[in-house]
Structure 1
Amino acid sequence: MSTDLDVVVAGGGRVGFQAASILTERGHRVTIIERDEATSSAIADEWLATVIEGDATDPSILDQADVEGADVVAALTGESGLNLAVCLAATELSPGIRTVARVDRAEATSYTEFVDAVVYPERAGAQLAANEIVGDDVQTLADVTGSLDVMLVRVEEGAPAAGKALSAVRFPTGTLVVSDDDGHQVARPDTTLTPGRRYVVAVEPDVADEVMNLMRG
């Protein structure tokens, strides 16, 4: 997808706000919809983008957020059913919009019929939620690996690990870079993390954000 997206985030709690902050730092334009007045006010005090107080399932609120002009709607509230409803409402208003829903892992299979992507941020962190929102730069195998995430991660130009050999990067304990950049060999200490290339990486949930920071910036 484009590197410069218009994103509507429904839910200004911990996950929604952190994901929105990461997206903004990457140059995307973000609007947050939050129904709780106190949370909306708190976000507005430190947020430079648009914050709309209201119910994100309400078509008038989605219209106010300009969902029809957005590239992605990411429903990241703590309620899976509400997140699905937001995505379905957004699709009604803008049939071509990319939809991302935060769900409980047990609900993921049934939800993928209705949304483009699902995220489990309790396990993977806001960094992975943000990556899922903007497209396919990070793909996970969360359905088959239990609490361990096995990901296909594209190294971003300018990231701390970009252009360095694995032996020179201080990945946190709980990280294993599995493949080299063409997928034909297991990664070795002298494997270079080349910007723009993808690597298979296994991470424990607690260190996922740190690994994403090293490889994606």
Structure 2
Amino acid sequence: MSQPPRLASYFWSGDAIRSRSVSDVVLSGTLDVPAPPARLTADWEREISLRVGLEPGDVEPLPLARARVRWPDYRHCVQAVSDWTRALGLHDVLASSDVALMACRGARYHHDGAQYGGAAFCNLFVSEDRGLDVHFPAAGRRIPLVRGTALIFDTGQPHAVIRRGSSGFDLADFAPEEDCTQIFLTWELPIEHADVGRALGIALDIDPATSSQLDEEQVRLNGARASVCPDSGAYL
């Protein structure tokens, strides 16, 4: 009997679960995008303080439709990401992908393979440099977050937003008086799209025996459901 792969993501494809590899590839760039207007950033600050209640380590959605009304350069941001993804060989995949606006105040180590196993994330950060990095421990990548930072990565790969120079996520790095909120646009790129799979080196249907027995998305390590230490990013 064949052994299950060491690390695998199991995701919904239609009404069936498929299996795939988990990529440690991180595609990154710094795009030339203008700063959001002051009245929009003020609106985000009010939304975060009054409604979202963003705590250190949290990643939460913001209302995109309202933001677009006050964001004359939104189309410029989308075009910049579209040009970048095209240059990576992803053609028109961005145009048909769902987009959301998110905020984080740092982020604990986690993977998103239990909710978004069928996707890769494409993120564009629009905030200024707050002295934070996004860290992918499995890939050995640490990328400074500045205005225009763009990333594409596998949702099954552990990642966090941590203080620059730190060795892991520490609540003490995100004191209430610290301005360390990051705003970003995020697209869900379909992992089954040939261009996305090729860019990240994804292999599909690597463990059909296990996927046929599952009824929910998950990442598995050595045959057991994988979770991540929120402070270090190590698999538990």
Fold conserved (TM > 0.5)? no
- Structure with the bigger percentage of helix: 1
Q: What TM-score comes out, normalization by structure 2 length?
A: 0.24
Q: What TM-score comes out, normalization by structure 1 length?
A: 0.25
- Structure with the bigger percentage of strand: 2
Q: Whose RCO is larger (CA < 8 A, sep 6+)?
A: 2
